Amino acid sequence: MPRPSVLAIAAHPDDIEFCMAGTLLRLAAAGWDLHCFNLSAGNLGSAGMNAARTIATRRREARAAAAALGATWHPPVARDLEILYGVDLLRRVAGVVRAARPRIVLTHSPQDYMEDHANTCRLAVTAAFARGMPNFASRPRRAAHEGPVTVYHALPHGLRDGLRRRVHAGLYVDTTRVHARKRESLACHASQKEWLDRSQGMDSYLATMDGLSAEVGRLSGRYRHAEGWRRHSHLGFSPDDGDPLSAALQTGCWTDPAYEAALDGEP
C-alpha cells in the first residue's frame, strides 16, 4: 500500500521552513511522504545580488532545505510579486498537485500580510479542487487524481491578517521535539539573513522563527513550540469533514474546542 503524501505549497523560498516544516517533520515520523513547492523563485529577495544570481542562490538553498526535511522538491513556477491568480499559473500548480497526489495540502492563510501569500493560497485551493477534473489540463499534462484531499491553512506571519486582526488556530501541532531540525532547514536559506534584516527588521530570521514558534506554542496553552492550522471546508475536496492531520499525529496535536464551537456559532 503506498504511503500517504503531504504537499506544502508556499509563496517563497523559506516560507515553508518558517511556518510549516515542523508539521512536515511530524508527518514524516508518522510514515508520510513529504513534498515542498514554493511558487516563486525568490528573485527579489536580495539587496546585493542581481535577479539571476538571486534566483540561482535561492534555488540551491530551497533544494537544500527540502533535503534537510527529507522532502521531494518541486521547482518554482513564478517570480516575486508576480504570483497572480490566473489560469496559466493555476495549470502549473495543478500539475504539481497531480504529481504529488497529496492526502493533505498545507498552504498559506487566506488573509496574510502580502498578496503573494494570499494568491498562493487561492491557487493552492483551486488546484487541489481541480485535481480530479480530467477536462482541466494541467501543465505539464498529468492525469486527474480523484483521491480525497484536505487543505489546511497556516497562521499568517505576525499572527494577524492584513487589517491587523488577530488570527487564531483551530489545530495546534506540537513541534517541540522537531524544532531543532526545523531551524536547521530554515538555516539553509542563508542568503535571507541580510535581506530580512534590512527589509523587514527581523534582526535574525532564525530568532524570529523561534519567537513565532514559541508564541504559537504559548497560544496552544500546552506546547513549548507549535504550528497552528485552520482546516478548509471539505466540500469538493473530500467526501466527509475528516481531519487527516489529527488522525495522523494523534497525541502530537490538539484541537481547540472553543475554535470549533465558534465555527458553529456557539457562544
Supply the CATH number for residue 48's domain. Answer: 3.40.50.10320
**What's the order of all strands across the beta sheet hosting 5-10?**
72-74, 33-38, 5-10, 104-107, 150-154, 226-231, 171-174, 253-255
At residue 45, does pLDDT exceed 90? no
Positive or negative, the Cα torsion across 157, 161, 165, 167? negative
Query: Given pLDDT bands bounded at 50, 70 and 90, which one contains residue 267?
Result: low
pLDDT of residue 131: 97
At residue 68, does pLDDT exceed 60? yes
Residue at 181: amino acid letter: R
At residue 47, does pLDDT exceed 90? no
Mean pLDDT in residue range 133-155: 97
Task: Spell out the residues 6+ positions from residue 184 whose beta carbon is closer than 8 angstroms to its own.
Answer: 68
pLDDT of residue 159: 95
At residue 265, does pLDDT exceed 90? no
Mean pLDDT in residue range 236-245: 95
Mean pLDDT in residue range 148-157: 97
Query: Please, are residues 109 and 156 in contact by the beta-carbon 8 Å criterion?
Result: yes
More reliable by pLDDT, 122 or 146: 122
Evaluate the omega torsion of the peptide bond into residue 140 and state whether it is cis, within 30 degrees of 0: yes
pLDDT of residue 31: 98
pLDDT of residue 72: 98
Q: What is the pTM of this model?
A: 0.95
At residue 243, does pLDDT exceed 90? yes
3-state SS assignment for residue 125: helix
b (16+ CB within 10 A) / e for 96-126: bbbbbbbbbbbbbbbbbbbebbbbbbbbbbb
What percentage of the chain has pLDDT greater than the value 70? 95
Task: Spell out the residues 6+ positions from residue 95 whose beta carbon is closer than 8 angstroms to its own.
Answer: 138, 139, 140, 141, 142
Mean pLDDT in residue range 79-86: 98
At residue 173, does pLDDT exceed 60? yes
pLDDT of residue 120: 98
List helix spans (H) across the chain.
15-19, 21-29, 51-69, 87-100, 115-129, 179-187, 192-200, 205-220, 244-249, 257-263
Tens of pLDDT along 6-24? 999 999 999 999 999 999 9
Q: Torsions phi, psi of 259, nearest 5?
A: -65, -45
Query: Please, are residues 166 and 160 in contact by the beta-carbon 8 Å criterion?
Result: yes
Domain count across the chain: 1
pLDDT of residue 66: 98
Tens of pLDDT along 193-228? 766 665 555 557 888 899 999 999 999 999 999 999
Mean pLDDT, the chain, rounded, equals 94
Mean pLDDT in residue range 89-99: 98
Distance CA 121, CA 89 (A): 13
Query: Please, are residues 96 and 139 in contact by the beta-carbon 8 Å criterion?
Result: no
Q: Which domain holds residue 49?
A: 5-263
Question: Strands 253-255 and 171-174, how do they pair?
Answer: antiparallel
Distance CA 234, CA 241 (A): 5
